Amino acid sequence: MLVGPSGCGKTTAMRMVNRMIDITDGDILLDGESVKDRRPAELRRQIGYAIQQIGLFPHLTIADNIGTVPKLLGWDKQRISTRVDELLELVSLDPSETRDRYPAQLSGGQRQRVGVARALAVDPPLMLMDEPFGAIDPINRERLQNEFLRLQKDIRKTIVFVTHDIDEAIKMGDKIAVLQKGGKLAQFANPAELLMNPASKFVEEFVGADRALKRLALQRVKDIDLWKVAQVRVGEMSADARRKVEDADLKSHVLVVDDRGRPHGWLAVNELGSERVPDGAHPGGEVEMDDILRDALADLLTAEARYGAVVDGKGVVQGALSIEVISRFLHEAPTDSRSGADLVEDPAA
Amino acid sequence: MSPTDAVGLFAQLQTRDRTGEANCVSEDGFCPDWIADNWQRYQDPFVEHVVLTLVSVAAGFLIAFVLALIAHRRQWLIGPITAFTGALYTIPSVAFFFLLQPFTGLGKTTAIVALTCYTLLIIFRNVTTGLQAVPAEAKDAARGMGLTENQLLARVELPLAAPEILAGLRIATTTTVGLAALAFLAGAGGLGAELDQQPYFKSNVVVAGGLCVLLAAVLDVMILAVQRFTTPWQRASAS
C-alpha cells in the first residue's frame, strides 16, 4: 500500500516496479532478481497492471481486452476464451452478457471490474494497482473494495496498491508505506501500528484526527478481550448470582439470560433481591462477535448503555463489551491484527 | 437522375428523329441522342481518370503513411513535414506540371507525381492527428501490460486511429478525382481532356463532368464502407 498526498511519488514508485519508469538509483528485486536485468515488455507481462483511468481498449470487445496478454503469450483460442469467462465471473460480471460488448457499452463500475480482470488475466504473482477504484462514486467504490478484499482472500496476490486515500489504505492494506512530498518514506507499518504510533507529525496529520476511530474499524469484537459477566436466570437463587459476580469482571451488574443463553437484560447487583433473582431486567445494547469495533461502539452509544452483551452467531452470550474495554484497547500497544501477507518486495522500502 | 427521368429519356431516344439531334448538337445543347450515340468515346478517358486517381492516391497514401509513422516516433518531424507537404499542396497544378516536365516529360508520370504530392498533406495530417488522438490511458495500459512499441502501434494505435485515417483517405480521394480533371494539361488524358475539347457543348460537359462526380461518389462510398466494416466499435459506442 503506497499512500501519500499528490506529488509524493507513490505512482512513480509503483511504475518503477515494472520499469514504466526506469530506476536511476537503488534497485527493486522480484523473487530475488533485479527488474533491471529483465526486458521491460517481458517483465510487464508477468505483472498485473491496473490503473485509475482503466485504459481499456475502446476498439476491442471485453473478451479481447481481457485476452490481450494471454494472446501475446501465445495461448490458444480455447484457453483464452475459457480464462476470459472465468475472470468475468471472478469479478462478478455475467460472461455471456459482457464478453462481446465494447467498453463504451459498460458502466464505470463494470469497466473497473474488467480492468481488474484484465490485470489478472495470466494469473500474475504480482499486481500493480494505481488507484483502481479512484474514479468511482463512493457507494460503488466501497462495494468494489469489499469485493476485491474477498477476491484477494482467494487469489492471494502480492499487490502494490497506490492510493491517496488513507481510509482505503487502512482498509485494503497489510502494510502501508506513507510517502511524503519528495518521495520521502514517512512511515512503513501495518495499519494498526500506523494509527497507534504515527512516526511523525506529518503521518499523524495524514492519518487524520479520527485515527483512534479508524483503529476501531480494523478490529472485530472477537479480537479483543471481553469482560466476563455474571449470567443469571430469572428465579435463580440470589446468593448464587452474587457468587457469580465475584468471578466476573463486571461487578456492578449481572446479565439475565434465558434458557438458551440468550441475553434478556441487565440487573444491578443491588436489584438482585434477597431470595431469588426477580424479573424486570433492563434491556441493554447487544453486539455480535463479528461486528467491527466501530459499529459495536456505535451500538453501545445508541443504546445509551455502558455495557453490551456480546453474542455469537446463534445469539448465545459470550461476554460483555464495555466502553472501558474499547478505550483500554485503544491504549494498548498494537497487535498484528491482520494476518499480513508479507510483501515480498516493497518499492518504497 | 430519377428512374422515371431515365425511362422518359430512353423513350425519347427511341422516337426522336435524327434531325433533332443535329440541331441540338449545333446549338451546343443537352442532347440525349448524341450522348447515346457517343458514350463510347468517354470510356477510355474514364478508365484513364480512374487509373490516375487510384495510382496517385495509393502512392500518396503509402508515402504519407510511412512519413506519419516515422514522425510518430520522432514528434519533432511533424512540423517540418506538415510545412513541406503544405507547400506542395499550394503549388498550382499547371505550374507543377510545368516544373516537372524537364524531369518526367509529358504524360501520365508527370500527372501522377503531381497528384500524389497533393494527397500528402491531407493524409499525413489525418494519420498524425489520428495517432495523437489515441487515449493516453489506453497506451499506458498497453505498455504496462507488456506490449512492445510495435505491438502497441499495430494492435492499439492504428486501429483506434483508423476512422481518422480513412476520413483523410476519403478527402484525398475526392480531391484527386477533381484534380485529375486537369491531368490533360500534363498530357495524361482523363475526363478533363474531353471537357477541354468541347468546353461549350453542354452534352459533353454534362457527361464528362458527371462521370467525374460519379467516380468521386462511388470511391467515397467504397471507403466509407471499409471504414464501417473495420470499426464496429464506433457504432457500438454511439448506441
pLDDT in tens, B66-122: 999 999 999 999 999 999 999 999 999 888 988 888 888 888 888 999 999 999 999
For chain B, positions 132-191, list CB contacts with chain A under 8 A: 135, 137-148, 151, 155-156, 159-160, 162
Q: What is the pLDDT of residue B172?
A: 95
Q: How confident is the model at residue A338 (pLDDT cuts 50, 70, 90)?
A: very low
pLDDT digits (tens, 9 = 90+) for A45-98: 889 898 888 889 999 999 999 999 999 999 999 999 999 999 998 888 899 999
Q: How confident is the model at residue A155 (pLDDT cuts 50, 70, 90)?
A: confident
B17, pLDDT greater than 60: no
In a domain, B73, yes or no: yes
For chain A, positions 18-37, list CB contacts with chain B under 8 A: 18, 20
Residue A320 phi/psi, 5-degree rounding, is -130, 145
Q: How confident is the model at residue A345 (pLDDT cuts 50, 70, 90)?
A: very low
Q: Are strands A317-322 and A33-34 parallel, antiparallel or unpaired?
A: unpaired
Q: Cβ–Cβ of A105/B236 closer than 8 Å?
A: yes
Q: What is the pLDDT of residue A336?
A: 45
Q: What is the pLDDT of residue A142?
A: 82
Q: Are strands A29-30 and A184-189 parallel, antiparallel or unpaired?
A: unpaired
Q: What is the pLDDT of residue B5?
A: 63
Q: What is the pLDDT averaged over residues B50-77? A: 95
Q: Cβ–Cβ of A20/B145 closer than 8 Å?
A: no
C-alpha cell at A102: 465494447
Q: Cβ–Cβ of A43/B143 closer than 8 Å?
A: no
Q: What is the ipTM of this complex?
A: 0.77
A102, pLDDT greater than 80: yes
Residues in A closer than 8 angstroms to B137, CB to CB, are 51, 53-55
In a domain, B16, yes or no: no
In a domain, B1, yes or no: no
Least confident of A248-262, B122-136, B161-175: A248-262
Least confident of A22-26, B14-18, B119-123: B14-18
Domain that holds residue B179: 37-230
Q: Which amino acid is at A74?
A: G
Residue A307 phi/psi, 5-degree rounding, is -125, 150
The alpha-carbon gap from B235 to the nearest alpha carbon of chain A, in Å, equals 10
C-alpha span between A152 and A158 (Å, rounded) = 9
In a domain, B22, yes or no: no
Q: Which residues contact A169 (CB under 8 A, 6 or more apart)?
A: A1, A3, A161, A163, A176, A191
- Overall domain count for chain B: 1
Q: Cβ–Cβ of A55/B151 closer than 8 Å?
A: no
C-alpha span between A181 and A163 (Å, rounded) = 14
Count each helix (H run) and each strand (E run) in chain A, helices first: 15, 14
Q: Contact at 8 Å (CB) between A224 and A329?
A: yes
Domains of chain A with bracketed CATH: 2-218 (3.40.50.300), 222-331 (3.10.580.10)
Q: What is the pLDDT averaged over residues A320-337? A: 71
In a domain, B30, yes or no: no
The alpha-carbon gap from A107 to the nearest alpha carbon of chain B, in Å, equals 12
Q: What is the pLDDT of residue B150?
A: 93
Give the CATH number of the domain where residue B205 resides.
Answer: 1.10.3720.10
For chain A, positions 49-78, list CB contacts with chain B under 8 A: 49, 51, 53-60, 68-69, 72
C-alpha span between A87 and B187 (Å, rounded) = 65
Give the SS3 label for residue A41: helix
B139, pLDDT greater than 70: yes
Q: How confident is the model at residue B4 (pLDDT cuts 50, 70, 90)?
A: low
In a domain, B166, yes or no: yes
Higher-confidence position of A146 and B160: B160
C-alpha span between A80 and A64 (Å, rounded) = 9
Q: Which residues contact A142 (CB under 8 A, 6 or more apart)?
A: none
Q: What is the pLDDT of residue B15?
A: 52
Q: What is the pLDDT averaged over residues A181-199? A: 85
Average pLDDT, chain A: 84
Searching chain A, which residue's CA lies closest to the CA of residue B163? A59
Q: What is the pLDDT of residue A28?
A: 87
CB neighbour burial string for A205-241, b if at least 16 within 10 angstroms, e if fewer: ebbeeebeebbbbbbbbeebebeebbbbebebebeeb
In a domain, B171, yes or no: yes
Q: What is the pLDDT of residue B20?
A: 66
User: Which of B153, B233, B235 should one mutate to test binding to chain A, selecting the residue with the greatest count of A CBs within 10 A?
Assistant: B233
pLDDT digits (tens, 9 = 90+) for A244-276: 888 888 888 888 888 888 888 888 888 887 788
Searching chain A, which residue's CA lies closest to the CA of residue B138? A55
- Predicted TM-score of the model (pTM): 0.74
Q: Cβ–Cβ of A20/B233 closer than 8 Å?
A: no
C-alpha span between A256 and B138 (Å, rounded) = 63
A-B Cβ pairs (cutoff 8 Å, strict): 81
B238, pLDDT greater than 80: no
Among A55, A104, A128, the residue with its CB nearest the CB of B138 is: A55
User: Which of B145, B155, B160 should one mutate to test binding to chain A, selecting the residue with the greatest count of A CBs within 10 A?
Assistant: B145
Q: Cβ–Cβ of B145/A128 closer than 8 Å?
A: no
Q: What is the pLDDT of residue A343?
A: 36
The alpha-carbon gap from A177 to the nearest alpha carbon of chain B, in Å, equals 22
C-alpha span between B106 and B101 (Å, rounded) = 6
In a domain, B235, yes or no: no
Q: What is the pLDDT of residue B2?
A: 57
Residues in A closer than 8 angstroms to B157, CB to CB, are none
Own/partner pairs, A306-314, CB within 8 angstroms, 24+ separation: A307/A227, A307/A229, A307/A250, A307/A253, A307/A266, A308/A284, A309/A229, A309/A255, A309/A263, A309/A284, A309/A285, A310/A221, A310/A226, A310/A286, A311/A262, A311/A263, A311/A286, A311/A287, A312/A288, A313/A288, A313/A289
Q: What is the pLDDT averaged over residues A171-196? A: 86
Residues in B closer than 8 angstroms to A45, CB to CB, are 145-146
Q: Cβ–Cβ of B144/A44 closer than 8 Å?
A: yes
